[in-house]
Amino acid sequence: MNDLPETPLLDTVKTPTDLRKLKPAQLRQLSDELREEMISAVGTTGGHLGSGLGVVELTVAIHYIFDTPEDRLIWDVGHQCYPHKILTGRRDRIRTLRQGGGLSGFTKRAESEYDPFGAAHSSTSISAALGFAIANKLNDRPGKAIAVIGDGAMSAGMAYEAMNNAEQAGNRLVVILNDNDMSIAPPVGGLSAYLARVVSSSEYLGLRSLASKVAKKLSRRVHQSLGRAEEYTRGMVAGGTLFEELGFYYVGPIDGHNLDHLIPVLENVRDAKEGPVLVHVVTQKGKGYAPAENAADKYHGVQKFDVITGAQHKGPPGPAKYQDVFGETLSKLADSDDRICAITAAMPGGTGVDKFAKAHPDRAFDVGIAEQHAVTFAAGLAAQGMRPFCAIYSTFLQRAYDQVVHDVAIQNLPVRFAIDRAGLVGADGATHAGSFDVTYLATLPNFVVMAAADEAELAHMTYTAAEYDDGPIALRYPRGGGTGVGVPETLKKLPIGKGRMVREGKKVAILSLGTRLAEALKAADALEAKGLSTSVADLRFAKPLDEALIRKLLTTHEVAVTVEEGAIGGLGAHVLTMASDEGLTDAGLKLRTMRLPDAFQDQDKPEKQYDEAHLNAEHIVETVLGALRWNESSKQGGASA
């Protein structure tokens, strides 16, 4: 356990109301204490670290200057909101972050009035803030909407769609661009801060065209006189011009860690009659914690760690992660097939595409937070004879559903979808759960949808997808480590739409899709112990169904149960439809479907989430026994069946 830091000033601040009672000179100390508290908390719980450290001063400044929660503060993605949570009445629970029954790792409306809009996917903040601002305008209510969006999230088209419609919000909308990929050379930084104060003043905001001309002239002069002014020029001229064209008053760039710069600029913006305003703030991810500052990924997401050394507490080594099995398998296949390429949307490490990129850099594409583009880009590659694998988390592929339908399925293009994080995902909670992909893909004509039961099956399915050129094909697999079965040296191409029998029985049939297979086999053992002969099938395919295998199981067993790690409308629904169409339940078959509940499940350990979802072995047994109306007095009859 990390020792709690000493935070005498932070101890006096329970809410932003307390914060606003402080003198400006005290805000530096408060920020330092807030940073220490956040490091200590995340060291205890794990979670997103670098992004929150980068916005400590910005968080303090926003809550100090604006009247939150009446002024609506919306954090894009929400993974940087831990300092915000500490300052908004949740410090006493900050060490429950991302744990069962604890605080969400993202913003969440149900958690606090200071979280006016929930988020965990990127690039939604400006659209939402515009909604708040226009609602206030239409109802003649005071109150501003402040959207804080990172430069990574700005790569998504939705952010520009929102900005293109933002002008009507006027001064009720403030967008803060948190740019942690840019640096400001020290001499330019000082001039930039001065200009930001001038340009955000009420006198200057009214002289928009003149401001643009002055900025251009100043930036040219700075560029000529200072060797490291290129990034400053990019911000003041290129960036400023772009945002001005979209209808914003552009202010910046300014140092997001310098409260002497932030406070007066935000005061000017708050009091401005003109708007909307975009404030360009430059920050450093991981700021103030050396291990995070020095890490390549800036400690984006971490396990529990030792605050003194920064060493993360790793669990004992286990089976290979599914994402690594996919990435390594695809890399090997690409060695002998130059048509194979891989596309990901800002998640190369999370999807295994980083491994592919090391081996085949010219055929790996990280398109940023742009899932819609990723899918249609893959469709174009496929139409030109390539074999593209679009590796995207299930929850993020939802963002490109129209492209999946319109650009891939209707044209029957052979795009391969590697769907990571299928099923429940633990600490990331409902926003990242891969609950719906079987439902939203298996309903589409032309699609093939597979689900891997273990690492070996995933490798076979990756090979099968690579060799399948007849239309779109998807393979889904969960987060985390596999079962330990390993990957065979020789891969086999699976026959499309054919499952496999894993265990033969006579009375009960369990039809499994995906990694619930291990639980299905445990359930079969328990049922056999009760004298109930049980078959277990790994269907492998949600679409097309193995109709011959399903028909055989449904007509030769008394009870059949489908089990899957997805929402209603998936495998179970397709099996029920087939059974209904063919009259397979007319003779008295007891058919049950087991799936995720019709609810968004909060974060917890995955095993607890599946227990809550009633998808573990004991629940399969209960479902079978319930269908048979089994009780202990039935034991003799069951044993003789």
From residue 628, alpha-carbon distances to 264, 556, 589, 621 in Å are: 72, 15, 10, 11
* 121 annotated ligand-binding residue: yes
- SS3 sequence of 368-415: CCCHHHHHHHHHHHHHCCCEEEEEEEHHHHHHHHHHHHHHHHCCCCCC
Strand 541-543 versus strand 534-538 pairing type: unpaired
- The DSSP annotation for 503-521 comes to E--SSEEEEEESTTHHHHH
408, 472 Cβ separation under 8 angstroms: yes
pLDDT along the chain (641 residues), means of 10: 84 97 97 96 91 96 98 96 97 95 95 96 96 96 95 88 94 94 55 62 58 47 41 47 85 92 95 93 90 75 81 82 97 98 94 96 95 97 98 97 98 98 94 97 98 98 98 97 93 98 98 98 98 98 98 97 97 98 94 97 95 97 94 52 36
Catalytic residues: 285, 371, 399
Cα distances (Å, whole numbers) of residue 297 to 180, 181, 301, 360, 476: 12, 12, 9, 22, 27
Structure token digits, residue 293: 């500052």
Integer-rounded Cα radius of gyration of the chain: 28
| Reported pTM | 0.89
* φ and ψ of 589, to 5 deg: -60, 135
Q: Which tokens sit at 591? A: 């058919």
Place of tokens 């450093």: 284
Please name which of 427, 397, 423 lies closest in space to residue 322, comparing C-alpha atoms.
423
Question: Is 337 annotated as a binding-site member?
Answer: no
- CA–CA dist 634, 271 (Å, integer): 77
Structure tokens given for 57: 């001063």
Can you say how many angstroms the Cα of residue 166 is from the centroid of all Cα atoms in its chain?
26
CA atoms of 6 and 162, how far apart (whole Å)? 42
Q: Which residues contact 30 (CB under 8 A, 6 or more apart)?
A: 9, 10, 13, 19, 22, 60
Quick one: which of 275, 276, 273, 263 has its CA closest to 65?
263
The separation between CA 371 and the C-alpha centre of its own chain, rounded to angstroms, equals: 12
Residue 296 pLDDT: 61
pLDDT for the residue 227: 38
Whether residue 153 is annotated as binding a ligand: the answer is yes
538: burial class by Cβ within 10 Å (0-12, 13-18, 19+)?
Answer: buried
Pairing relationship of beta strands 534-538 and 340-344 according to DSSP bridges = unpaired
d(CA 276, CA 26): 30
Contact 87, 60 (CB under 8 A): yes
The Cα-based distances of 165 to 151, 179, 247, 601 in angstroms read 19, 22, 8, 34
198-236 core/surface letters (b: 16 or more CB in 10 A; e: else) = ebbbeebbeeeeebbeebeebbeebbeebeebebbbebb
Q: What is the pLDDT of residue 180?
A: 85
Nearest to 303 by CA among 43, 41, 607, 83: 43
Amino acid at 206: G
Q: Which two tokens stand for residue 522?
A: 């445990």
What is the C-alpha to C-alpha distance for residues 89 and 61, in angstroms, rounded to an integer?
Answer: 17
Is 120 assigned a ligand-binding role in the annotation? yes
Burial class (CB in 10 A: 0-12, 13-18, 19+), 80: buried
Residue 606: other Cβ atoms inside 10 A: 16
Residue 211 CA to its chain's centroid (Å): 39
Looking at residue 194, its pLDDT comes to: 60
Region label for 484, one of left (φ > 0), alpha (ψ between -120 and 50) or beta (otherwise): left
Positive or negative, the CA dihedral 565, 567, 569, 575 is positive
